[in-house]
Amino acid sequence: MILIGVYAAKRVSSASDLYVGGLNFGGVATALSFFTTYFSSVIFVGATAIGWKYGLLVLWKDVFVVFVGTLAAFIFIGPRLLAFSRRFGFSSIVEFIEVRYKSSLAGVIAALTTFVGLYIYTISALIGMARALEAMGLDYTMSLLISSVTTLLYIALGGYLAQVWTQSIQAVFMLAMAIAIAVTSLASVGGIGNLQQRLSSIDPLLASWPYRDLLPMFSFYLSLGFMGIGNPALVMKFITARDRISLKLATVVATATVATLTLSLDIASATTRAIISSDSVKPDHAFIYLTKTLMPKGFDTLMIIAILSASMSTISALINTLTHTLRDVVKKLGNNLIGNTKRDAMFFRITTATLAATATILALKPPEMLITLFGVTTAILSSTLVGPIIYGLYWRKATAEGAIASMVTSFAIAIAVSAYGHFSFPWTYYAFVPALAASLMVMPITNLVSKPARKQNC
């Protein structure tokens, strides 16, 4: 990965190469970058812990992630956002909000919400990576430091180019491991029918309707689906695609890879409760114990590679988007830190290093269950920008006042509901539903008393 970063650094000739790879990626690269950004170590650790705790309920996640977060996002958001970006010259979601609504304030608010959501996401991805490696027998702190430093090096060197190139390689390891574990684990319990019977014998709520904690889990799954529409690190992939033809190919490849990975890991994680039913096992470690129990000797090394691939691919995208967001803010202030390509590159690398270092420090003391922290970030990223993005692309009368009110209200609700529940389960999951409702409803209500943005922006 570091060698790819070194090679990519030689190809960087402008700020555009560093931040968005020159806006020239083909369909396959776009799809694999989207796929690997969507799934971090959380999918190997936090999300699979749900399979151990809730059984077959975990399979419902695929409906939202595949059909809402991937297929619908590529069909309804991707092409229009790509066309807008080429017409008006923006290269990030923050710039889209500012340009579309002709409001610097809207851009600043979008930047702030983006930063908070992605920064928490980065911390959760780092925790998931280190915790998974800890379960494999490695020291938590050392795993965290080595992995974060490696990711920092290739991103700081090669920027967005290095990010996409490494993600393409990492996608292969993630898919291969997910399929291998799913086939082996399902065979070990004798198929889906036997799995359902074994889970039902442990607890009927693990295998049939109504599942335990149904409402908060469905809220969480819906939020995962809307990540494909509201998460700037994911939506950025539409902007950096070469053209609409590339996006069509990316739609097919991304949907297929996302469906394969999430279904494979969900099946495998559901078998963990049937095979490892001891309550002494930590939910975040159950999936790792499953692979140790079922897979042949030496498989641990491949599992480490898969976990690192999932982690690094997402962390690199998050840090790159965070750096890009801060750059947008600095540009608004007229700061001379980014006046030319050399200064821009220096700003990119210093900011990247600072973000990675501070996130790593905060990840040294993780919460007991990773998915709780991840719930906060999904509540923010799956709601706050959804309304302004959708209305900005499809509604000519959308106003800056509506976008600002929508973002502020949605973000405040996401934080307030989570805080009311002390940032713990199930309140971090409940927070998403009212936050999304506010994101979609506040805009039209506000527009009733405000003027529409200038027509040519639409």
Domain ranges of the chain: 2-370
- Other beta carbons within 10 Å of 137: 10
Q: Which of 27-41, 189-203, 257-271, 276-290 has the lowest mean pLDDT?
A: 276-290
Select, from the ranges 47-56, 118-127, 249-258, 261-270, the one with the highest average predicted confidence (pLDDT).
249-258
Taking CA atoms, 442 is separated from 58, 100, 135, 391, 439, in Å, by 32, 18, 45, 11, 6
CA 326 – CA 89 distance, rounded (Å):
18
Tell which wins on pLDDT, 105 or 278.
Answer: 105
Residue 332 confidence (pLDDT): 73
- Give the mean model confidence (pLDDT) for residues 182-199: 91
DSSP states along 23-38: G-B-HHHHHHHHHHHH
> pLDDT grade, residue 44 (50/70/90)?
confident
Helix (H) / strand (E) containing 69: none
Tokens of 258: 């996302």
Residue-wise pLDDT for 321-362, tens only, equals 999 898 888 877 766 666 677 888 888 889 999 999 999 998
Q: Which of 123, 102, 52, 112 is nearest to 284 (CA)?
A: 52
Q: Is 363 helix (H, G, I), strand (E, B) or coil?
A: coil
More confident of the two residues 243 and 17: 243
161 and 17 Cβ atoms separated by less than 8 Å: yes
> Which residues on adjacent β-strands are paired with residue 241?
25
> Model-level pTM?
0.89
Q: Is the pLDDT of residue 66 over 50?
A: yes
In tens, the pLDDT along 354-391 reads: 999 999 998 887 765 555 667 788 889 999 999 999 99
* Residue given tokens 């040294």 in the structure block: 364
Q: How many CB atoms lie within 10 A of CB 379?
A: 32
For the chain, give the mean pLDDT.
Answer: 87
pLDDT value at residue 452 = 58
DSSP readout, 158-213?
A: HHHHHHHHHHHHHHHHHHHHHHHHHHHHHHHTTSHHHHHHHHHHH-GGGTSSSPTT
Cα–Cα distance, 232 to 386 (Å, whole number): 10
How do residues 222-274 score in pLDDT, each as one tens digit? 999 999 999 999 999 999 999 999 999 999 999 999 999 999 988 988 888 88
pLDDT confidence of residue 451:
62
For residue 136, the SS3 value is: coil
Q: Return the structure tokens found at 75.
A: 């069909």
Contact assessment for residue 254 and residue 70, using Cβ atoms and an 8 Å cutoff: yes
- Tell me which of 163-167, 333-337, 411-415 is least confident: 333-337
Q: pLDDT (tens digit, 9 = 90+) per residue, 92-115?
A: 999 999 999 999 999 999 999 999
pLDDT-based confidence at residue 456 (cuts at 50, 70, 90): very low
* End-to-end CA gap in the chain: 41
% of the chain surpassing 70 pLDDT: 93
Given this model, what pLDDT does residue 457 score? 47
Predicted confidence at residue 115, as pLDDT, reads: 93
Cα–Cα distance measured from residue 43 to residue 160, given in angstroms and rounded to the nearest whole number = 23
Report H helices in 363-431.
Answer: 370-381, 386-394, 400-420, 427-430
Taking residue 7's Cβ as centre, other Cβ atoms within 10 Å add up to: 15
Secondary element (H or E) of residue 351: helix 341-362
Q: Which two tokens stand for residue 295?
A: 């897979």
Give alpha helix (H) positions in 189-281: 192-202, 214-230, 232-239, 244-275
Amino acid residing at 120: I
- What is the rounded distance in angstroms from the CA atom of residue 11 to the CA atom of residue 158? 8
- Rounded to whole angstroms, the Cα distance separating 260 from 18 reads 31
Looking at 1.10.510.10, 3.40.50.150, 2.40.50.100, 1.20.1730.10, the CATH number of the domain 2-370 comes to 1.20.1730.10
pLDDT of residue 368: 57
Q: How far is 309 from 36, CA to CA, in rounded Å? A: 8
Task: For residues 229 and 389, give the distance between their C-alpha atoms in angstroms, rounded to a whole number.
Answer: 8
Q: In the chain, how long is the greatest CA-to-CA distance? A: 67
Strand partners, 25: 241
Burial of 105 (0-12, 13-18, 19+ CB in 10 A): middle
- For the segment 176-195, the average pLDDT, to the nearest whole number, is 90
Residue 458 predicted with pLDDT over 60: no
Structure tokens at 32: 């694999």
Percentage, residues of the chain above pLDDT 90: 44
Q: Which residues contact 352 (CB under 8 A, 6 or more apart)?
A: 152, 155, 156, 319, 320, 323
Distances (CA, A) of 9 to 1, 77, 131, 138, 163: 12, 31, 31, 31, 11
Cβ neighbourhood burial of 228 (10 Å; 0-12, 13-18, 19+): buried
Q: Are 160 and 17 in contact (CB under 8 A)?
A: yes
Is the pLDDT at 37 greater than 70? The verdict is yes
pLDDT level of residue 46 (50, 70, 90 thresholds): low
